[in-house]
């Protein structure tokens, strides 16, 4: 039961983070005057040189990473071997 719960939480959290990112892209494209301005804003946000966005994305995904590590430790300690 614990294994399934952690797995569902992990994949659900990853899905929510992906949904937030897609929502940001859709929101930017809906609020700008033309497509190229929207593309420039999105490129600036998701640029590999945007360290703040990288830190925020790592913070957002960390609960899923923690659930993954907890699940793997739980599997190791509760294996039938």
User: DSSP secondary-structure letter at 33?
Assistant: S
Give pTM, 2 decimals: 0.81
**pLDDT tens-place string over residues 21-48:** 999 999 999 999 999 999 999 999 999 9
**Arithmetic mean of pLDDT, 1-24:** 93
Residue 40 and residue 33: Cα distance in Å, rounded? 12
Neighbours of 71 (CB within 10 A): 18
Q: At what angle do helices 51-77 and 2-31 cross, to 10 degrees?
A: 170
Mean pLDDT, all residues of the chain? 92
């Amino acid at each position: 039961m614990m294994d399934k719960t952690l797995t569902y939480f992990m994949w659900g959290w990853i899905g929510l983070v992906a949904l937030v990112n897609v929502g940001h892209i859709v929101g930017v494209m809906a609020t700008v005057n033309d497509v190229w301005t929207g593309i420039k804003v999105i490129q600036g946000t998701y640029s590999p040189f945007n360290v703040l966005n990288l830190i925020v994305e790592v913070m957002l995904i960390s609960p899923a990473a923690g659930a993954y590590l907890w699940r793997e430790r739980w599997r190791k300690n509760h294996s039938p071997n």
